[in-house]
Amino acid sequence: MVISTKEELFELLGKIEPFEGKRVKTTMWGHKVDYVFADDLSYEMGFEYFSQFLNPDLESEANLTLYIDGGQVSVDEELCLNYHGIKHEGREILLTPFCCGSIGENVGTVVIVPGDELTLTALFRSISANLTRRMRGIVLHSSGVVYKDKCFLFLGESGSGKSTVVKLSGSLTTLSDEAILITESENGFRCWGSPYGAEHPGTNLNVELAGCLFLVQDKETYLEKLDGQEVVLRIAQQIWSDLSVIRFDPNNLSLCMKIASTVPCYNMHFELNDSFWLAIDKEFFGGALDECRSRRA
């Protein structure tokens, strides 16, 4: 079934009701989210996807329960662009080219192609947008690695080296190698791990943000300090969303401006080894490491 108009969409969503199914209980970004699957294969894939974010308290009540039913549904891309993020009858519409649904305060219903990995990835990514708005945060296209109890964000487009940095960081804790939620706190900003990884399953922790490092693969390793409005734009460009319009949400831009003005930001030129941690240690913690240097633009 191809959904190409909002009338067709609302008619389909109006037919979906909560049902009994196999449940995956998770905790992520300060919320307890239960996923109830109608088919076994999707359940198994969902269980594996959230392996590091499972809720061990099987008796706990979820903040949000999502009922995920099966159906051969595709959504016209133009409809996704025009109606993503809207509400209908008090519920937020969830739209991707591969699945559709609606989410209320405590309950959501979704139609997906059963057992399709691409569909599930699109679904979980869309749900992350709903949780992000609940947390009043932003998700940045970045990897996050914990060093000396602080999180360092490594930002860049696909192929810039986010997953490479994680691999070169050895035993250091990785929050994600693809997407990190950023929220404000009393003392600055917190970084929240996510399961939306390229090669890493993610870690269910939140850690204070120490710095933002924009990746530049190079033949030498050094940090280049960034200042000014350019930093706001570069952070905004890394907001994790398929739809560019979401990047210009007033709350998102406000957070980008606050991060740029309060969190140290750098271009991180790096070789394909772990010497960048020497540069980070020297710049942020005063380590006497002559092997690396810091430059100001």
DSSP string spanning 93-148? EEE-SS-EEEE-SSEEEEEE-TT-HHHHHHHHHHHHHHHHHHHT-EEEEEEEEEET
54 vs 16, residue with greater confidence: 54
Q: Which long-range contacts (CB under 8 A, 24 or more apart) does 260-263 make?
A: 260/229, 260/231, 260/232, 260/235, 262/188, 262/189, 263/188, 263/189, 263/209, 263/210, 263/211, 263/212
Q: What is the CA radius of gyration of the chain?
A: 20
> Distance between CA atoms of 151 and 142, rounded to whole angstroms?
12
Indicate the residue type of 62. Answer: A
Q: Please determine, for residue 9, whether its predicted confidence score (pLDDT) is greater than 70.
A: yes
Residue 80: the pLDDT is 79
> Distance between CA atoms of 158 and 70, rounded to whole angstroms?
31
> Distance between CA atoms of 145 and 162, rounded to whole angstroms?
10
Residue 250: the pLDDT is 78
> Distance between CA atoms of 255 and 246, rounded to whole angstroms?
13
Backbone phi, psi, residue 165, to 5°: -60, -40
> Distance between CA atoms of 94 and 103, rounded to whole angstroms?
7
Residue 244: the pLDDT is 39
The mean pLDDT of the chain is 89
CATH class for domain 138-296?
alpha beta
Every domain of the chain with CATH number 3.90.228.20 lies at 138-296
> Rounded mean pLDDT of 115-129?
83
> Rounded mean pLDDT of 106-131?
86
